[in-house]
Structure 1
């Protein structure tokens, strides 16, 4: 039976809570996630061979998975959703092959993609994203490197550095684009979540005890291989992230872990033609929603960081809110999807989002940072498109990102622009007079939403299995 009242795409805290809320109201619910276990990035499940330890994120993730496992939600893990149609048919590929499900309503909780603003050498082996480093540390118990340099912006700097140190690795330095004053400005929002503030202080205590220097207002300028190691060059930068004159610092390391914030994943809502807007502080393009997650398209909802960066705690509350509102819209059990329950979820989301949105502003794309990219630096690593090629297309008349895509192949690779789209559009905005991020637009979303092997859809066959129609009579 593949017909459901609600399909939820995304198994992080937002998606799981949305599925649980809708299911508790008596709806039949299916949950899809491409990972083998639910939890998302923050509550990523560890490998089975990893020893148990008292990490708060792991405990919260285990609790979330237990509740999901004991619920009536039909869970499709290790399934990549590659197509969604307007009648809310979802096509996916999993361990047992392809399948499709249909639903009356769709809740999108697909989270974010990490942003890395390109610099010379950012595609060198050994340079990884902060999110990738987190996966290694949390899910595999593997250090990014024996010696690591951590760079970029936002709270993941401290998280990755502290976990690397706790795992026995050495963090040679932290290069933070933000200043100490920038962090102090977030304090009013941080005190609303004393638990997370305490966690942050614990990370920085561990970092200080290890003697790891933090270079504020510094950015990665270059990474180059030196023998079997990497040499990272750090440059001072201004408040916009643009490198400025001043002494450069270098560090020889095994790994460079870098990240410049998060970009909401909007492929599905763009594919379904929901209305969107560009909000820099929220991470970029987000679907237009009301306070409960309803989009401009009937019975299509968005929750979690995919609706704007607000953090894991806010994502969970937002998921509960979207699930309850969806249940009410579909005429489900009013005792569960009551006004009081919805108001409580709204209040929880608003309270937790204040902290997360402050962190989102710290990770917002900085215009000067993008303007500091070198002319010969690769922007689209899938298709090896450089900044100079993007600017040449702009000078030749490319007026929006889809025209840029057609002329340069930027965004045509396996990631379909998830890695390069934000930066390429920012460069084009500055390269075409009078343009804004709204008028530049976003890459058109197309199926397949994720790379899918042809054999996964067709199965095993020989040419003899292909039906050949008889020739028409002359």
Structure 2
């Protein structure tokens, strides 16, 4: 078992910068990520053998990976962390089997999970998340489909549509929950990030030149198989995401890429019993933390979008903050210099986060959108739990999400509630008198944090290895 001063969980912008900041302060740092290289979702590295696509994200990712490789951080890529204990022992499985590490402090930088508000047919093969589409486009250099419908809300709509077009695919239409006015309200915040504004304008210009139809204030209400393609039905909706009267539109496509925002990944901080609060604007449940990432639990820090959705640039700055705060708390040398670096990083984070918060508001969960989920629509796809079953559980007395889990198995599948937890909690809260997400709570985190096979834990252990004691004399 190896010992480190700091263990960082997550190799995206937040985790990588947190690790580098702590290492630069003289601490021994271990970084764990289940991907083969650093970068996270935004700066994901191409798979081996795939040609580099270029672009700003690719260049930023390459720079991040070079800086991390040149730092003193010990990296464990291809490692899936399945357990973390209160004394900061890390249990993981990697290329060489099970591994165990300990640390004096822990920085959780697990990023986000994509939210999809269920609709009729959302589990049909060929319906994928916008985040999954970006993985195909950035890492695999594959099109989601020769023809794709892009739907949902937030900046990923334009990113996926533009990259699909640039890759030679056809985007049949974009169905956007937001209206033109919603996007215009983000411009003042984006003026502080002209690079993001230029990137967004390039995406929309690519979409415009391709002649792609964009349906503002529209939502998917149904997807069904139609031969070799998918038939999607779109409906106009109000500002809350609730479908309204109006002409339905039908779009045929090979693939439907849909996403309704991001939720912070808080499995580790919940497992370690740090305090959490619910913030719709921040994406959902987040760990209660100070401005530098210190949680309610000693020597446990949260970095990046786990502390609230703010975008990749802000996540990097927040990671630096968390790494420096950790170094200060562990007694690293030159505390005055570190404190000066903290103050600079705080200013840079606040500037970067302004644009990120504007995008997060576009992706915030809309109550009317959840109200539109039909009774027979599956909410928990791991356990096939429907909206009607969740409503019936509440009527029978399941008034918090962990009671719901016990009664219906919602959230007990391989994803451990990462996909359904936000929507299930919202549905329960819609029944409650005060509609409080705090009151219905969030799923308790349990190990294993990720699915893990017995073979991965046992390695080459066989029955022949079992010591058999001699029989006791009669």
Q: Same fold (TM over 0.5)?
A: yes
Name 1:253's counterpart in structure 2. 253
1:290 and 2:276 are equivalent in the alignment: no
Supply the distance in 2 between the matched residues of 1:21 and 1:246 (Cα, whole angstroms): 54
Preserved CA contact (<8 Å) 1:328 1:337: no
Measured in 1, the distance between the counterparts of 2:9 and 2:223 equals 37
- Separation (CA, whole Å) in 1 of partners of 2:345 and 2:328: 14
Residues 469 and 388 from structure 1, CA distance in 2 versus in 1: closer, same or farther, beyond 3 angstroms? farther
| Aligned-pair CA distance for 1:5 | 0.4
Does structure 1 residue 54 correspond to structure 2 residue 54? Answer: yes
- Which residue of the partner structure matches residue 7 of structure 2? 7
Quick check: 1:126–1:230 contact (8 Å CA) kept in 2? yes
Deviations 1:306-340 (A, max 9, x none): 11000000000001111111101111122685222
Distance 2:231 2:383 in 1: 25
- CA 1:470/1:440 → structure 2, altered by over 3 Å: closer, same or farther? farther
1:53-132 map, 5 Å: 53-132=53-132
**1:218/1:88 CA distance change after superposition, 3 Å:** same
CA distance in 2, matches of 1:336, 1:82: 37
In structure 2, runs of 5+ residues without a counterpart are none
SS at match of 1:429: helix
| Partner of residue 313, structure 1 | 313
Partner of residue 175, structure 1: 175
**Aligned-residue offset at 1:51:** 2.4
CA deviation string 1:156-183 (max 9, x = no partner): 0000000000000000000000000111
Q: Structure 1 residues 277, 337: closer, same or farther in 2, change over 3 A?
A: farther
Name the residue aligned to 2:27.
Answer: 27
Correspondences of 1:320-469 after superposition (within 5 Å): 320-334=320-334, 337-468=337-468
- Is the Cα–Cα contact under 8 Å of residues 325 and 337 in structure 1 kept in the other structure? no
Within 5 Å, which residues of 2 pair with 1:183-222? 183-222=183-222
Distance 1:326 1:126, change over 3 A: same
Residue pair 2:328, 2:335 contacting (<8 A) in 1 also: no
* Cα deviation digits, residues 344-385 of structure 1 (max 9, x gap): 100010000000011111101110000000100000000000
Q: Give the aligned partner of residue 274 of structure 1.
A: 274
Report the TM-score, using the length of structure 1 for normalisation: 0.98
Aligned pair count? 474
| C-alpha displacement of 1:433 | 3.3
| Contact 1:149/1:253, CA 8 A, preserved across alignment | yes
Q: SS of 1:91's equivalent?
A: strand
SS at match of 1:410: coil
Aligned partners of 2:214 and 2:406: how far apart in 1?
42
CA-to-aligned-CA distance 1:383-434 (integer Å, 9 cap, x gap): 0000000001000110100000000000000000000000001001112334
Aligned counterparts of 1:49 and 1:210: Cα–Cα separation in 2: 30
State the 1:188 CA deviation: 1.2
Contact 2:5 2:27 in 1 (8 A): yes
Give the deviation of 1:470 after TM superposition: 6.0
Mapped contact 1:25–1:337 kept (Cα < 8 A): no
d(CA) in 2 for partners of 1:98, 1:445: 21
* RMSD value, Cα: 1.3
Q: Give the Å deviation of 1:52.
A: 3.1
Distance, in Å, in 2 between the alignment partners of 1:58 and 1:435 is 43
Query: Contact 2:98/2:459 (CA < 8 Å) preserved in 1?
Result: no
How far does the alpha carbon of each residue in 1:131-186 deviate from its partner, in whole angstroms, 9 at most, with x for none? 00000000011000000000000000000000000000000000000000111111
Distance 1:353 1:47, change over 3 A: same
User: Are the structure 2 counterparts of residues 340 and 140 from structure 1 closer, same or farther at C-alpha, using a change threshold of 3 Å?
Assistant: same
- Kindly indicate whether residue 238 of structure 2 is the aligned counterpart of residue 238 of structure 1: yes
Bigger mean CA offset, 153-162 vs 325-334: 325-334
- State the alpha-carbon separation in 2 of the partners of residues 83 and 337 from structure 1: 35
Residue 96 to residue 336, structure 1, CA distance change in 2 (3 Å): farther
Moved over 4 A (4+): 468-474
